[in-house]
C-alpha cells in the first residue's frame, strides 16, 4: 500500500481514511506493507517506534495495535494538499533546515545522502523509483495506491513485479482546482487510472468524474464509501476559548482552500448574525485561502464573531466537535468528506453541500448547494433556533453513521484484490 500520510503524520482526510481502512484490514487478517513519503523529523519519534531498518533504503515503523501492518518510510519531502509552487517553497525551506542541522534525519533513512530536487514532478518519480527498489524485497500480491502522488510508484512497482495495481481516488485535480487544472497532475492521475487493473472511488460523485473527465470505462471503477471510527461522548468544558457559555458555536473544520468553500461559510455567517447575535463561527484548519478568509471577515465586519484556530489534530479535533452546536461543510467539490461523519459521531448535526460524496450516504443531514448562501444561512438559523430540529438531526444522524463501518469497506477492498489478482493470473 502506497500512501501520502498516516497518523500521526496527518494533514487531512486521507490519513484518517488510511488509518481506518488499514486497521479494519488488519482485523480481517490481511497483511499490509504501508509505504510513506516523508522527511523523518526527530520530534515525531515520541509518537511512533522507529525500528532498525531491514534495508539500507528504508525505515520501519511499528504502530501499536496493528499486528499485520508494517510501515516503510522513504525519506522524501513529498507533502499532500500543496500546490506545486507552495510545494517548491516548502522543499527549499526543508533543505535549508537540513543544511543547517535543523531537520536532521537518521542515517538509515532514504535521502539522507541524496540531494532533493526542488521540483514536485522529479520528487514524485524519485519516490516511485525507490518504492520499486523496496518492493523487490517484499512479498505481496497486489499494489494499492492512494491518490496521485503515489500513482507513478504504483505503476513502477506493478511493472517490476507483474502484480495488479489498484488505485484509490480520494480526490481529483478537478476537485482541488476546478477547471484550472495542473496539467502535470492531471496527466499523472490519468496514467495511474488507465494503468490500474481496478479503480476505487470514494463516492459515485467521484466515479462520474473519473469516467467523464479521465476517459475510464465504467466497469473498471468501483465505489467504496468511507466510514468513521466510533468513539465515546465525554463532554469538554469551555476553557479560555473566547466563547461565552450562552453562545452557539457553528463549526467549519477542514482545509481553508477553494475546494472547501470557506468564503460561502463566511458569507452565510454574516447573514446569520444579521438575524441572531449569540453565535460564534469557528474556522478550524489552515490552507492557501487563510489570508483571504481573514480579509473577508474584516470586509464583512464580523471579526468579533469569527474565531480562527489554525490546524487541529488529535484530541483538539475531538474537543472542537464536542463544543460545536452545528457543523457546516459548504464544499465546492468534495469527493467524500469524512468530517461530517465525525461530527455526527459526536452528536453534532450537519449541513453539507449537495456537491459532496458523503451526501450519498447521509439522509439525516441538511443539504444545500454550496453557492446558495441564503439557504445555508436559513438552515443554520433553523437548527440554532429550534432545539427539536437539532436533536432530531443529531440523534438520527448519529444512529445513521453507526452502519458506516471500516470493516465493510475493508471487505469490499479485499474482494477487489481477489478479482484483480485472478484477472492478472
**What is the arithmetic mean of pLDDT over 291-309?**
96
pLDDT of residue 5: 78
| Confidence band of 306 (pLDDT split at 50, 70, 90) | very high
- Residues contacting 105, CB < 8 A, separation 6+: 39, 40, 41, 42, 75, 98, 111, 112
pLDDT of residue 100: 66
Residue 412 has pLDDT above 90, yes or no: yes
Q: Do the strands 279-284 and 248-253 form a parallel or antiparallel pair, or are they unpaired? A: parallel
| Confidence band of 313 (pLDDT split at 50, 70, 90) | confident
CB atoms closer than 10 angstroms to residue 360: 14
Indicate the pTM of the whole model: 0.83
Residue 198 has pLDDT above 90, yes or no: yes
Q: Residue written as cell 432530531?
A: 392
| Confidence band of 413 (pLDDT split at 50, 70, 90) | very high
Could you give the domains of the chain? 13-227+406-424 (3.40.50.2000), 248-401 (3.40.50.2000)
Q: Which residue has the higher pLDDT, 396 or 16?
A: 396
Q: What is the C-alpha separation between 150 and 3, in angstroms, rounded?
A: 6
Q: Residue written as cell 543547517?
A: 100
**What is the arithmetic mean of pLDDT over 207-221?**
97
As to burial, measured by CB atoms within 10 angstroms (0-12 exposed, 13-18 middle, 19+ buried), residue 152 is buried
- Encode pLDDT of 86-137 as tens digits: 545 555 565 566 566 554 333 333 333 334 444 778 888 888 988 898 899 8
- Encode pLDDT of 23-49 as tens digits: 999 999 999 988 887 643 444 333 233
3-state secondary structure the chain: CECCCECCECCCHHHHHHHHHHHHHHHHCCCEEEEEEECCCHHHCCCCEEECCCCCCCEEEECCCCCCEEEEEEECCCCCCCCHHHHHHHHHHHHHHHHCCCCCCCCCCCCCCCCCCCCHHHHHHHHHHHHHHHHCCCCCCCEEEECHHHHHHHHHHHHHHCCCEEEEECCCHHHHHCCCCCHHHHHHHHHHHHHCCEEEECCHHHHHHHHHHHCCCHHHEEECCCCCCCCCCCCCCCCCCCCCCCCEEEEEECCCCHHHCHHHHHHHHHHHHHHCCCEEEEEECCCCCHHHHHHHHHHHCCHHHEEEEECCCCHHHHHHHHHCCEEEECCCCECCCCHHHHHHHCCCCEEEECCEHHHHCCCCCEEECCCCHHHHHHHHHHHHHCHHHHHHHHHHHHHHHCCCCHHHHHHHHHHHHHHHHHHHC
User: What's the grid cell of residue 49?
Assistant: 517506534
Amino acid at each position: 500500500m502506497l500512501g501520502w500520510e498516516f497518523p500521526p503524520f496527518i494533514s487531512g482526510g486521507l490519513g484518517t481514511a488510511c488509518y481506518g481502512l488499514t486497521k479494519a484490514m488488519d482485523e480481517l487478517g490481511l497483511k499490509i506493507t504501508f509505504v510513506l513519503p516523508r522527511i523523518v523529523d526527530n520530534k515525531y519519534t515520541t509518537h511512533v517506534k522507529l525500528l532498525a531498518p531491514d534495508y539500507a533504503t528504508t525505515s520501519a515503523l511499528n504502530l501499536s495495535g496493528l499486528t499485520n501492518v508494517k510501515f516503510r518510510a522513504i525519506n522524501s519531502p513529498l507533502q499532500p494538499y500543496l500546490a506545486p509552487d507552495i510545494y517548491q517553497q516548502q522543499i527549499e525551506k526543508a533543505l535549508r533546515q537540513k543544511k543547517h542541522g535543523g531537520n536532521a534525519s537518521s542515517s538509515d533513512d532514504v535521502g539522507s545522502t541524496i540531494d532533493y530536487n526542488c521540483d514536485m514532478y522529479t520528487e514524485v518519480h524519485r519516490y516511485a523509483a525507490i518504492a520499486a527498489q523496496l518492493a523487490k524485497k517484499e512479498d505481496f500480491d497486489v499494489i494499492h495506491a492512494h491518490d496521485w502522488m503515489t500513482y507513478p510508484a504504483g505503476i513502477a512497482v506493478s511493472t517490476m513485479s507483474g502484480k495488479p495495481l489498484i488505485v484509490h481516488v480520494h480526490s481529483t485535480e478537478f476537485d482541488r482546482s476546478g477547471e484550472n487544472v495542473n496539467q502535470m497532475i492531471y496527466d499523472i492521475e490519468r496514467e495511474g487510472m488507465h494503468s490500474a487493473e481496478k479503480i476505487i472511488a470514494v463516492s459515485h460523485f467521484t466515479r462520474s468524474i473519473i469516467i467523464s473527465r479521465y476517459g475510464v470505462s465504467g466497469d473498471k471503477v468501483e465505489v467504496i464509501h468511507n466510514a468513521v471510527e466510533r468513539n465515546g461522548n465525554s463532554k469538554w468544558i469551555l476553557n479560555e476559548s473566547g466563547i461565552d457559555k450562552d453562545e452557539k458555536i457553528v463549526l467549519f473544520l477542514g482545509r481553508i482552500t477553494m475546494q472547501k468553500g470557506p468564503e460561502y461559510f463566511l458569507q452565510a455567517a454574516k447573514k446569520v448574525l444579521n438575524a441572531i447575535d449569540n453565535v460564534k463561527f469557528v474556522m478550524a484548519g489552515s490552507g492557501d485561502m487563510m489570508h483571504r478568509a481573514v480579509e473577508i471577515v474584516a470586509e464583512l465586519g464580523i471579526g468579533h464573531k469569527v474565531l480562527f484556530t489554525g490546524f487541529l489534530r488529535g484530541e483538539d479535533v475531538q474537543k472542537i466537535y464536542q463544543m460545536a452546536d452545528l457543523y457546516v461543510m459548504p464544499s465546492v467539490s468534495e469527493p467524500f468528506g469524512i468530517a461530517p461523519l465525525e461530527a455526527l459521531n459526536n452528536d453534532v448535526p450537519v449541513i453539507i453541500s449537495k456537491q459532496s460524496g458523503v451526501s450519498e450516504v447521509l439522509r439525516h443531514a441538511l443539504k444545500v448547494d454550496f453557492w446558495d448562501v441564503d439557504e445555508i444561512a436559513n438552515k443554520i438559523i433553523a437548527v440554532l433556533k429550534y432545539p427539536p430540529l437539532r436533536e432530531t438531526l443529531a440523534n438520527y444522524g448519529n444512529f445513521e453513521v453507526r452502519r458506516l463501518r471500516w470493516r465493510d469497506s475493508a471487505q469490499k477492498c479485499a474482494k477487489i484484490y481477489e478479482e484483480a489478482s485472478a484477472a492478472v493470473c
